[in-house]
Amino acid sequence: MTRAQLWSLVALTLMWGINWPLMKFSLRELSPLYLRAFTMTGGAIWLFIYYRQRGLRIWPQRHEWSSVVQLGLPNMLGWHTCSILGVQELASGRAAILGFTMPVWAVLLGVLFLGERLTPRVMLAVSAVLISLALLTFNEITQMSGHPWGIVWMELAALLWAIGTVMMRRAHLTLPVPTLTVWMMILTSACLWVIAALNEPWPQWEFSGLTWLSLGYGMLINYGLAQTIWAGLARYLPPATSAMSIMAVPLVGTLGATVIVGEWPHWQDYVAVFFVMGAIALVLIPASPRKMAT
């Protein structure tokens, strides 16, 4: 990995991690579905212009639209809708921990439905995730202000993201992945505006300056710059390196929440985040050749 790739990976991890408490900050003045619709729309426009100027084929052919819709339902609409509802109910760091159990569920789905082998590493990873869930669920239920439904929303989001990940692995795509991402975001944004209009009052759009900055971060950084960095890195980085970035996101989100929204993690959060990081490492970082041989 080059020095430029290393710094890009560090920046990407910080961008994704910090976005979790910033979403929680924005929810103080904007309802969750309108928050997702607004920021994703801005990000989709940003990416559409960026990739078009770079000469990427931006318009899917007729037969490619089915892939956009099928993959967009779990990867974009399902994940982003359920996760923002989870963030509304939970501390943002806790939501990030639960959301990033996705890699484990993706591997488990492969074992259950695709005939992939159930290895001791997978079993250990699932056990680690279940321990983290038990820790966080117990803490939420025993608090007077606990929100156990937030845990349900976040694990549903993680499961939908996992389903989408498995579908992406098995898809025979003929259109560029950045183009697929842009159009999944565009269609999801349109759906979110409709769902928000049916379930939430229309916002007044009179926010504080800090909230506008947080929304701008969601549009330009989380849905924009971070996507372009990841698209560039994913082609060249080995799975182990990519896994390190994914592992660090919930930790950054948990620590960043203290500074941005004043959420102080409990001991259960710290233990749970390390269990989830360990689980991600078990399913994403390949075993050494010596262990594979044995």
What is the reported pLDDT for 199?
97
Banded pLDDT at 148 (limits 50, 70, 90): confident
Separation CA 254–CA 94 (nearest Å): 7
Banded pLDDT at 24 (limits 50, 70, 90): very high
Query: Does 292 reside within a domain?
Result: no
Higher-pLDDT residue of 246, 34: 34
What mean pLDDT do residues 75-100 have? 94
Separation CA 186–CA 182 (nearest Å): 6
Amino acid at 108: L
The H or E element containing residue 79 is: helix 79-89
Residue 61 has pLDDT above 80, yes or no: yes
Taking only the tens place, the pLDDT of each residue in 110-138 is 888 888 888 898 899 999 999 998 888 87
Query: Mutual orientation of helices 120-142 and 148-170 as an angle, nearest 10°?
Result: 150
**Greatest mean pLDDT among 10-14, 54-58, 99-103:** 54-58
What is the reported pLDDT for 238?
63
Query: Does 76 reside within a domain?
Result: yes
Banded pLDDT at 3 (limits 50, 70, 90): confident
**Rg for the chain, CA atoms, rounded:** 19
pTM for this model (two decimals)? 0.90
What is the reported pLDDT for 292?
45
Residue 160 has pLDDT above 60, yes or no: yes
Separation CA 6–CA 76 (nearest Å): 27
Separation CA 203–CA 200 (nearest Å): 8
Q: 95 with 83: CB under 8 angstroms? A: yes
Taking only the tens place, the pLDDT of each residue in 177-190 is 899 999 999 999 99
Banded pLDDT at 240 (limits 50, 70, 90): low
Banded pLDDT at 293 (limits 50, 70, 90): very low
34 Ramachandran zone, left/alpha/beta (phi>0; psi -120 to 50):
alpha
Q: Select from 156, 12, 133 the least CA-distant residue to 77.
A: 156
> DSSP 3-state assignment of 257?
helix
Residue 149 has pLDDT above 90, yes or no: no
Query: Does 294 reside within a domain?
Result: no
How many domains in the chain? 1
Q: Select from 162, 184, 170 the least CA-distant residue to 41.
A: 184
Choose the weakest-confidence range: 24-33, 209-218, 234-243. Answer: 234-243
What is the reported pLDDT for 146?
53
Q: Select from 242, 240, 180 the least CA-distant residue to 44.
A: 180
Query: Does 293 reside within a domain?
Result: no
What is the reported pLDDT for 143?
59
Separation CA 56–CA 44 (nearest Å): 15
Full residue range of the structural domain in which residue 43 is found: 3-285
- Full DSSP string of 175-191: S-HHHHHHHHHHHHHHH
Q: What percent of the chain is predicted at pLDDT more than 70? A: 90
Q: Select from 175, 161, 207 the least CA-distant residue to 31.
A: 207
Residue 87 has pLDDT above 90, yes or no: yes
Query: Does 108 reside within a domain?
Result: yes
Mean residue pLDDT of the chain comes to 89
Choose the weakest-confidence range: 4-13, 101-110, 259-268. Answer: 4-13
**Greatest mean pLDDT among 98-102, 166-170, 212-216, 256-260:** 212-216
